[in-house]
């Protein structure tokens, strides 16, 4: 490790870093704007100036930008040098010549990097006496608010939006002191990562437009570490609340998962918590007055859970704790997964393969650092957005590594690397049903149907491993692609293969598994990633329960059951006829959920369940990583409780005593470990609820929280007692441990002098690396050695069937989420639901774009307008999946189409 | 006195056609090089000739070429670019060469390209040079027709394509790395160095950017040798230089003269002295981005070292003379207006500092100045120095300002004291 001297003191620093990163890692406060830990340096803002000296005798030194100089053994630098300090203050004065100083009305105020840096440099007096330049703001859609006058021209926005995230509709225009950051003309930002602009921009130019509608300063938020519930990746988030409403979601850094960025669904999907469609009170629909108090409810439930055989329907979007609590209540053999048999089967398959331990399930971070990626079938842009962003980084980083092999450029030297790399890309093969924005960075982008994609996968596996049978009758193009891909994977050190269950095709999973298992050697760290449909699909699948169909069969033969449906709209998982039949055959139907839906309508007893924001819980993401989310706020409405709490109370009634029963997440998890060994070590995902640091709990409210005594003065002048959180080491107070909490319990990033989110620097032991004492989740799969088994059953080539089409789901980032749709902003961005056919198939039906097409299977019918996609294979029909109000269609089966 | 670069250029005459160029000895150097010299030999010859870049920075051209990776492993393609952006206020020397004898440049470029084994070349031409664009287009076409450009030139195995690219009219595009970005179709913002263009230049490949005048010297060095080139000058810098004089002189213009003529000779003999009724007050010796010199410096030699020793830069060698009837504050304001407008907007000090400087100067000029304004101007001249800003534009902009405050402080003070422009 090189030693550098900072203001004459020696420090050991990591090689390959720049002086800014080194200084920040050492804990120095050095201001910056244009550098970003995930995006490197470009040297534009000149804010990070320091002095370096030739040797000990050199007292003059020269000013350099710390972000643009590599650490070198023996290097001498000064942060405190008066010239350097004056220059840094001057940079702020220059920036302030045009900055509007509208902090009081600026949404960034109080969590603003520009404010922080201004204070840090000491600049405080305005000498510029002339008019400021002004700009016209743009309408950028429902997610991002634009206020260009505040711009300090650090170029971070365009570097993130274009270079990092691959968007092309945001740019920099003009020159000199009129550079403008925006779109060519007003319009909705097209990138699904646009929300990150609010965090990347160090000022109030780009801010969260949904927050604006119910604005609260960072210092007034009650916040908690949470996990995104909108897809299976489990990105880490911080959600903030005030007055019982979730106000915003921001990124929570986790070096193994989402790093610095979220997708827009994750950032903006939170508003369902505040929805008018929430279930707010218990209902017993068999009573003349349906709304009941809790005592009545419990009394009623007591009979239902003690006098009847119980069955429980779990949920892929409910926490591990809640699913397990239900299993405990109804008994293992009476617990069913709340998904269709097909889904349960495929998810079980994927889970088994990972559990077997012969292939490595990769984290998002590992995907980012992969040096060759193969995507088989899964449309990750829509089903796992941040994974698509990670794949993009892999492509870019691999190209950079190749380009800088001869030309020893440091990894932080972003602009120079981009010059060298030009259009070169790392290896990515994106083999999917429909085109995707990833195609533009793909080495190979191919369209096919799932069976043929799986065949291609088997062919690749065969090329890697002769023990796997060859695939016959591939087209020349497929053969060529298979060779190219096999070759690229073989030459990679960290190849990754991605697939999932959105194609409803087991062969894809087998093919991906074959490839990765063939590639895995002690020298090559190959990895696999399976994308799952929901935030806890993996956690639910790991419980190894039977599917919905088994439950349906059960109530068909036993019509005396009490069924408890946990946070699950069955109509989204199984055809309406099946759901109807099941729900009507339950003697007693207890449904617990957060929002009203078609299933809750049928409930005999409806119980309001807490959403993620009102609950503690654990999710297992697609990788097999368990992560805990903490309650953000305690609802004033005491009817709303976590499902596991309701279920625990029912269990107590059933057992007639609470002795030894679980009441808190840590207890549920401990019990889970014992009950289901596949969850071994999951309890480590959170510290025990009594965990304290120096006897102190971790406050959800920052030290600057205001109005505690006044917030509810309109209701009563005495200050209410702080709410008591018995479930976690977090508290509902400002008081408590003031230092850096364990990484999985960070309610906000905040450090002296660092009020903005960039305070995250202070939480990392090395900039851009892991958080201090990082607990980045608990991986439930361990690698195991053993005899390697391969799948030998490559599917037959896809043959279209006369008069029929294979129906497959088409997911949309905005639209397919069950709950993100309740965010007004997201609902504005949802495309119209449609079915998609190839040109030929459309012509055969005599249909054109917009023609209403009827999908028919047995007596099921559904109608959607047609969109023709030329690249789609003939014989396949895609339909928008999971849209609001849309039932589950018979995915993966052959349907008849009519106009 | 030899004038190798301009001897065949005559005011008012059409540019030399390919035929005329060859009859005056054109393309002999190229034939000679392709037949008899290795690329390394050409590099060495030019290095030995001590040709220094005529684009302003004065770096040894052969040395610059020697940083280009050579041999079979070198990245391909490599590029050679003639910087014909010439937007420095007061500078019009390249225009003379472009409009007068385009094949001289083309031949110089082919030899330079051969020396670094580049197969693609560009002329990056200032947008406003419409005539030069026509002339170059025609001449490049002629050169292709004659086999001086294209595949396998003269059977040597060396191939070179040449393209004319006209800029969009930004001073910044003359800065070599911004030029590269502009050529790539990107914003004309500069790049960080290192890596230098010789290693990672146009499209990330090894690239040499040379000034037009620099490249025009090359055929003559090949024809006549390094010693001859050295012997042309009156100083330790080799060769001739096209010097220019503008301002209130009797005979403004540009002349090719041995490097090292004195400023006095240039102004008094070639430019015919100051116009009647005007006295010389200051001189920007090498274009708008160089420090003022004054009467006391008239006898210094116009070479890189001497001008630097006097506190300025030879720059492009085209001087702007300021007379005593011109208000120095207004003069400098005009310059700063240009620089502020031409700032690319990439780095904070230049983007925000120059408009401030411009506004202060205007307010002083309008009689609204305050004493503190001088401090603010001086603060800028100190903090917009090399290394503090991303590229050399802002430091260049500060040169005339800092020297104006140094030499013409009285004028600034009077403006502020009298709250009006005394001129
Ligand atoms: C703002 C700015 C503008 C410049 N404009 C020109 C120009 O128009 N022509 C030119 O040859 N060099 C210009 N230069 C210098 C070039 O960056 C570069 O040094 C030169 O083209 C190298 O050629 P040479 O080595 O032959 O002098 C400019 C430099 C700066 C900083
Ligand atoms: S809009 Fe924000 S991120 Fe973009 S340049 Fe301006 S201050 Fe920087
Ligand atoms: S990628 Fe998935 S987990 Fe991550 S923020 Fe987006 S929706 Fe949430
Ligand atoms: S000094 Fe900075 S703003 Fe000015 S032209 Fe150079 S890079 Fe652009
Ligand atoms: S952070 Fe170093 S120049 Fe901007």
Question: Which sequence spans correspond to the domains of chain B?
Answer: 18-231, 240-323, 328-418
Architecture of domain B328-418: Up-down Bundle (1.20)
Q: Which residues pair with A281 in a beta bridge?
A: none
Range of the domain at A728: 283-316+324-344+539-778
Question: Is A175 in the B-facing interface, judged by CB distances under 8 Å?
Answer: yes
Q: What is the pTM of this model?
A: 0.97
Q: A308 and A859 in contact (C-beta within 8 Å)?
A: no
Tell me whether residues A178 and B345 touch, CB distance under 8 A.
Answer: yes
**Residue A121 CA from chain centroid, whole number:** 36
Residues A11 and A58 occupy one common structural domain:
yes
- Does residue A576 sit in the same domain as residue A716? yes
Determine, for residues A420 and B170 on separate chains, whether the beta-carbon distance falls below 8 Å: no
Look at residues B174, B190, B194 and name the one whose alpha carbon lies nearest to residue B287.
B174
Whether the pLDDT of residue A407 is over 80: the answer is no
Residues A615 and A732 both lie in one domain: yes
Q: Which residues make beta-bridge pairs with A52?
A: A62, A77
User: Is residue A855 located within the same domain as residue A706?
Assistant: no
> What is the CATH code for B18-231?
3.40.50.11540
Count of other CB atoms within 10 angstroms of residue A499: 31
Quote the CA–CA distance of B289 and B393 in Å, as a whole number: 8
The neighbouring-strand residues paired with B166 are B125
Q: How confident is the model at residue A657 (pLDDT cuts 50, 70, 90)?
A: confident
Q: Answer yes or no: is pLDDT of A751 > 80.
A: yes
- Tell me which residues of chain B have a pLDDT lower than 50: none
For B348, the closest of A62, A94, A421 (CB atoms) is: A94
Q: Determine, for residues A413 and B372 on separate chains, whether the beta-carbon distance falls below 8 Å.
A: no
A588-607: average pLDDT? 97
CA distance B400 to B291: 4
Quick one: pLDDT at residue A716? 87
**C-alpha triplet B315, A64, B63: angle, nearest 5°:** 45
Measured in Å, residue A182 CA sits from the centre of ligand 2 at 10
Are A94 and B349 in contact (CB < 8 Å)?
yes
| Cis status, amide bond into B194, omega within 30 of 0 | yes
Geometric angle at alpha carbon B227, from B221 and B230, rounded to 5°: 80
Q: Has the ipTM of the complex gone over 0.85? A: yes
Look at ligand 1, atom 7, and give the residue with the nearest C-alpha. Answer: B174
**B77 cis-preceded (ω within 30 degrees of 0):** yes
In this model, does residue A718 exceed pLDDT 90? Answer: no
How big is the CA angle at A839 (ends A833 and A841), to the nearest 5 degrees? 85
Q: How far is it, in rounded angstroms, from Cα A250 to Cα A253? A: 10
In a shared domain, residues A609 and A495 = no
Residue B397 Cβ inside 6 Å of ligand 4? The answer reads: no
CB within 8 Å of A295: residues ≥ 6 apart? none
Residue A818, in any domain of the structure:
yes
> Beta strand pairing status for A805-810 and A894-898?
antiparallel
| Most ligand 4 atoms within 8 A of CB, residue of B178, B181, B190 to mutate | B190
State the smallest CA–CA distance between residue A420 and chain B in angstroms: 4
- Give residues 348 to 367 of B whose Cβ lies within 8 Å of A: 348-349, 351-356, 359, 363
What's the confidence (pLDDT) of residue B16?
A: 95
Residues A630 and A736 in one domain: yes
Regarding whether A690 and A605 lie in a shared domain, the answer is yes
The β-bridge relationship of strands A180-182 and A171-173 is: antiparallel
Helix (H, G, I), strand (E, B) or coil at B210: strand
Query: Which of A449, A453, A440 is closest to A485 using CA atoms?
Result: A453
Torsions phi, psi of B261, nearest 5?
-65, 155
A811 shares a domain with A762:
no
Residue A179 domain-assigned (yes or no): no
| pLDDT grade for A316, boundaries at 50, 70 and 90 | very high
Across the interface, do A176 and B200 touch by the CB < 8 Å criterion? no
Alpha carbon distance A603, B314 (integer Å): 89
The per-residue pLDDT for B12 is 85
In this prediction, residue A658 carries a pLDDT of 80
Q: Which DSSP string corresponds to B127-176? A: TT-HHHHHHHHHHHHHHHHTTSSBSSGGGSS--BEEEEEE--S-GGGGSH
Per the CB < 8 Å rule, is A64 touching B387?
yes
* Residue A626, both tokens: 């368990």
What's the pLDDT score for residue A648? 96
- Interchain proximity A178–B187, CB inside 8 Å: no
User: Is A136 within the bounds of a domain?
Assistant: no
C-alpha dist (Å) from residue A259 to A253, A254, A361, A393, A526: 5, 5, 18, 12, 21
Let me know: does A313 contact A628? Beta carbons within 8 Å: no
* pLDDT classification of A613: cutoffs 50, 70, 90: very high
Token pair belonging to A304? 């239902």
Token pair recorded at residue B47:
């290095």
Identify the pLDDT of residue A562.
Answer: 97
Q: Which 3-state string (H, E, C) describes A684-725? A: HHCCCCCCCECCECEECCCCCCCCCCCCCCCCCCCCCCCCCC
Tokens of A297: 């409810």
Q: Give tens-digit pLDDT for A442-458.
A: 999 999 999 999 999 99
Burial of A408 (0-12, 13-18, 19+ CB in 10 A): exposed
Give the residue from B167, B180, B204, B395 with the most A CB atoms within 10 Å of its CB, the best one to mutate: B204
Kindly indicate the confidence band of residue A601, based on its pLDDT and cuts at 50, 70 and 90. Answer: very high
How far apart (Å, rounded) are the C-alpha atoms in residues B317 and B53?
Answer: 11
Give the domain CATH number at A867.
Answer: 2.40.40.20
- How many CB pairs lie under 8 A apart between chains A and B? 104
Are A749 and A884 in a shared domain?
Answer: no
Domain count, chain A: 4
Nearest CA in chain A to B196: A416
Nearest residue to B396 (alpha-carbon basis) of B334, B343, B319, B321: B343
- pLDDT digits over A246-257, tens only? 999 999 999 999
Residue A406 has pLDDT above 80, yes or no: no
With an 8 Å Cβ cutoff, are B192 and A47 in contact? no
d(CA A629, CA A152): 36
Is the Cα torsion angle B112, B114, B118, B123 positive or negative in sign?
A: positive
Q: Tell me the per-residue pLDDT of A471-507, one tens digit each, with 9 for 90 and over.
A: 999 999 999 999 999 999 999 999 999 999 999 999 9
Domain membership of residue A841 (yes or no) is yes
Same domain, A633 and A741: yes
Helix axes B130-145, B102-116, angle to 10 degrees: 60
Using CB distances shorter than 6 Å, the residues near ligand 5 are A 20, 32-35, 41, 43-48, 65, 67
Residues 157-186 of B with CB under 8 A from A: 170, 172
Residues A390 and A489 occupy one common structural domain:
yes
Could you tell me if B380 lies within 8 Å of chain A, comparing CB atoms? no
Q: Ligand 5 centroid to A146 CA: how many Å?
A: 24
pLDDT (0 to 100) of residue A404: 86
- Does the structure show a pLDDT above 90 at A720? no
| d(CA A421, ligand 2 centre) in Å | 25
In the three-class reduction of DSSP (H, G, I as helix; E, B as strand; rest coil), residue A47 is classed as coil
Q: Tokens 């870049």 belong to which residue?
A: B53
Provide the CATH number for the domain around residue A449: 3.40.228
The DSSP secondary-structure symbol of B14 reads P
Mean of pLDDT over chain A: 96
Classified by CATH at the fold level, domain B240-323 comes out as Ubiquitin-like (UB roll) (3.10.20)
From the alpha carbon of A197, which atom of ligand 2 is closest?
Answer: 3
Residue A773 has pLDDT above 90, yes or no: no
Q: Say yes or no to pLDDT of A434 above 90.
A: yes
The predicted model gives A48-64 an average pLDDT of: 96
d(CA A382, CA A363): 18
A881 & A774 share domain:
no
**A349 falls within a domain:** no
pLDDT of residue B218: 98
Give the number of whichever ligand sits closest to the CA of residue A179: 2
Ligand 3 neighbours by CB, cut-off 6 Å: A 228, 230-231, 233-235, 258, 262-263, 265-266, 384-386
pLDDT value at residue A656:
87
Q: What is the Cα–Cα distance from B337 to B331, expressed in whole angstroms? A: 10
């Amino acid at each position: 490790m090189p030693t550098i001297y900072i203001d004459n003191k020696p420090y050991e620093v990591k090689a390959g870093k720049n002086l800014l990163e080194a200084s920040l890692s050492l804990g120095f406060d050095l201001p910056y704007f244009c550098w970003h830990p995930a995006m490197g340096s470009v040297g534009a803002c000149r804010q990070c100036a320091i002095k370096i000296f030739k040797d000990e005798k050199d007292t003059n030194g020269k000013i350099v930008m710390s972000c643009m100089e590599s650490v070198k053994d023996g290097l001498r630098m000064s942060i405190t040098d008066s010239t350097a300090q004056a220059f840094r203050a001057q940079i702020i004065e220059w920036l302030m010549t045009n900055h509007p100083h509208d902090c009081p009305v600026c949404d960034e105020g109080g969590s603003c990097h520009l404010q922080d840096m201004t204070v840090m440099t000491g600049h405080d007096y305005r000498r510029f006496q002339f008019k400021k330049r002004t700009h016209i703001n743009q309408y950028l859609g429902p997610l991002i608010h634009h206020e260009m006058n505040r711009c300090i021209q650090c170029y971070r926005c365009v570097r993130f939006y274009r270079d990092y995230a691959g968007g092309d509709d945001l740019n920099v225009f003009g020159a000199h002191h009129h550079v403008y950051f925006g779109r060519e003309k007003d319009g909705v930002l097209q990138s699904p990562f646009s929300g990150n602009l609010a965090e990347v921009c160090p000022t109030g130019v780009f801010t969260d437009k949904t927050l604006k509608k119910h604005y609260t300063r960072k210092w007034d938020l009650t916040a908690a570490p949470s996990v995104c519930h909108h897809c299976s990746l489990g990105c880490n988030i911080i959600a903030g609340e005030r007055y019982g409403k979730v106000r915003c979601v921001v990124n929570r850094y986790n070096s193994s998962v989402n790093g610095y960025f979220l997708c827009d669904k994750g950032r903006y999907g939170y508003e369902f918590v505040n929805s008018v469609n929430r279930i707010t009170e218990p209902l017993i629909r068999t009573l003349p007055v349906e709304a009941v108090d809790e005592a009545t409810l419990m009394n009623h439930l007591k009979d239902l859970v003690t006098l009847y055989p119980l069955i429980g329907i779990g949920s892929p979007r409910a926490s591990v704790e809640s699913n397990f609590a239900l299993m405990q209540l109804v008994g293992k053999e009476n617990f069913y997964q709340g998904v269709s048999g097909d889904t349960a089967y495929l998810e079980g398959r994927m889970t088994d393969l990972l559990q077997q331990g012969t292939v490595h399930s990769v984290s998002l971070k590992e995907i980012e650092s992969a040096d060759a990626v193969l995507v088989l079938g899964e449309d990750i842009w829509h089903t796992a957005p941040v994974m698509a962003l990670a794949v993009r980084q892999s492509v870019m980083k691999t190209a950079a590594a190749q380009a800088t092999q001869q030309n020893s450029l440091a990894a932080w030297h972003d602009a120079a690397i981009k010059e060298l790399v030009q259009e070169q890309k790392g290896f990515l093969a994106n083999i999917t049903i429909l085109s995707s924005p990833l195609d533009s960075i793909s080495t190979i982008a191919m369209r096919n149907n799932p069976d043929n994609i799986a065949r291609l996968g088997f062919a690749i596996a065969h090329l890697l491993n002769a023990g796997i049978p060859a695939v016959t009758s591939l087209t020349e193009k497929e053969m060529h692609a298979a060779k190219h891909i096999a070759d690229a994977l073989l030459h990679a050190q960290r190849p990754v293969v991605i697939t999932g269950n959105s194609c409803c095709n087991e062969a894809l999973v087998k093919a991906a598994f074959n490839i990765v298992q063939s590639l895995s050697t002690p020298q090559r760290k190959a990895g696999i990633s399976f994308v799952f449909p929901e935030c806890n699909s993996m956690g639910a699948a790991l419980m190894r329960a039977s599917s919905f169909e088994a439950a349906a069969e059960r109530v068909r033969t036993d019509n005396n059951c009490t069924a408890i449906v946990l946070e699950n709209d069955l109509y989204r998982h199984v055809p309406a006829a099946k759901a109807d039949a099941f729900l009507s055959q339950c003697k007693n139907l207890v449904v617990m959920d957060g929002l009203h839906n078609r299933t809750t309508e049928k409930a005999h007893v409806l119980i309001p369940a807490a959403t993620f924001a009102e609950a503690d819980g654990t999710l297992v993401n697609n990788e097999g990583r368990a992560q805990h989310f903490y309650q953000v706020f305690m609802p004033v409405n005491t009817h709303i409780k976590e499902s596991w709490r309701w279920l625990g109370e029912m269990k107590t009634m059933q057992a007639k005593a609470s002795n030894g029963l679980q009441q808190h997440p840590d207890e549920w998890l401990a019990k889970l470990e014992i009950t289901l060994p596949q969850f071994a070590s999951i309890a480590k995902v959170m510290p025990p609820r009594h965990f304290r640091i120096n006897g102190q709990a971790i406050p959800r409210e920052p030290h600057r929280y205001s109005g505690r005594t006044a917030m509810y003065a309109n209701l009563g002048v005495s200050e209410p007692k702080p709410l008591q959180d018995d479930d976690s080491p977090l508290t509902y107070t400002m008081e408590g441990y003031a230092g850096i909490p364990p990484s999985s319990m960070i309610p906000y990033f905040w450090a002296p002098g660092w009020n903005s989110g960039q305070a995250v620097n202070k939480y990392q032991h090395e900039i851009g690396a892991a958080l201090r004492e990082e607990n980045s989740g608990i991986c439930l799969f361990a690698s195991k050695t053993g005899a390697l088994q391969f799948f030998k059953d490559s599917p037959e080539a896809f043959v279209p069937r006369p008069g029929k089409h294979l129906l497959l789901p088409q997911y949309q980032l905005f639209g397919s989420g069950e709950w993100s749709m309740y965010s007004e902003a997201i609902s504005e961005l949802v495309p119209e639901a449609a079915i998609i056919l190839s040109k030929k198939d459309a012509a055969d039906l005599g249909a054109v774009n917009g023609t209403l097409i009827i999908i028919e299977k047995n007596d099921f019918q559904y109608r959607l307008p047609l969109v023709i996609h030329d690249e789609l294979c003939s014989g396949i029909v895609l339909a928008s999946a999971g849209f609001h109000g849309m039932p589950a269609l018979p995915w993966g089966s052959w349907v008849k189409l009519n106009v | 006195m030899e004038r190798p670069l301009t001897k065949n250029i005559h005011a008012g005459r059409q540019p030399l056609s390919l035929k005329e160029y060859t009859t005056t000895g054109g393309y002999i150097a190229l034939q000679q090089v392709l037949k008899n010299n290795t690329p390394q030999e050409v590099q060495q010859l030019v290095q030995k000739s001590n040709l220094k870049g005529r684009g302003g920075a004065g770096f040894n051209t052969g040395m610059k070429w020697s940083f280009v990776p050579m041999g079979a492993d070198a990245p391909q393609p490599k590029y050679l670019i003639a910087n014909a952006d010439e937007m420095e206020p007061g500078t019009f020397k390249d225009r003379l060469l472009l409009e007068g004898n385009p094949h001289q440049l083309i031949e110089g470029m082919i030899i330079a390209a051969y020396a670094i084994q580049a197969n693609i070349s560009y002329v990056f031409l200032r947008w406003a040079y419409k005539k030069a664009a026509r002339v170059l287009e025609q001449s490049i076409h002629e050169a292709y027709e004659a086999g001086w450009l294209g595949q396998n030139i003269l059977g040597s195995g060396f191939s070179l394509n040449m393209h004319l690219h006209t800029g969009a009219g930004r001073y910044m595009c003359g800065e070599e790395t911004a030029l590269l970005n502009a050529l790539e179709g990107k914003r004309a913002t500069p790049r960080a160095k290192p890596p230098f263009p010789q290693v990672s230049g146009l499209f990330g490949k090894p690239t040499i950017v040379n000034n037009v005048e620099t490249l025009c010297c090359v055929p003559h060095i090949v024809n006549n040798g390094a010693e001859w080139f050295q012997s042309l000058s009156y100083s330790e810098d080799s060769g001739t230089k096209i010097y220019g004089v503008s301002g209130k002189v009797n005979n403004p213009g540009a002349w090719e003269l041995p490097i090292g003529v004195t400023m006095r000779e240039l102004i008094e003999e070639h430019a015919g002295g100051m116009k009647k009724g005007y006295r010389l007050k200051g001189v920007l010796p090498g274009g708008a981005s160089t420090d003022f010199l004054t009467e006391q410096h008239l006898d210094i030699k116009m070479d890189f070292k001497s001008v630097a020793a006097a506190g300025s830069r030879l720059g492009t060698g085209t001087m702007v003379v300021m007379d005593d009837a011109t208000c120095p504050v207004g003069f400098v304001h005009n310059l700063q207006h240009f620089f502020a407008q031409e700032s690319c907007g990439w780095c904070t000090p230049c983007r925000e500092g120059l408009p401030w400087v411009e506004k202060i100067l205007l307010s002083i000029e309008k009689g609204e100045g305050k004493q503190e304004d001088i401090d603010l101007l001086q603060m800028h001249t100190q903090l917009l120095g090399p290394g503090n800003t991303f590229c050399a534009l802002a430091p260049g902009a500060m040169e005339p300002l800092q020297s104006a405050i140094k030499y013409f402080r009285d004028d600034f003070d009077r403006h502020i004291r009298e709250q009006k422009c005394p001129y």
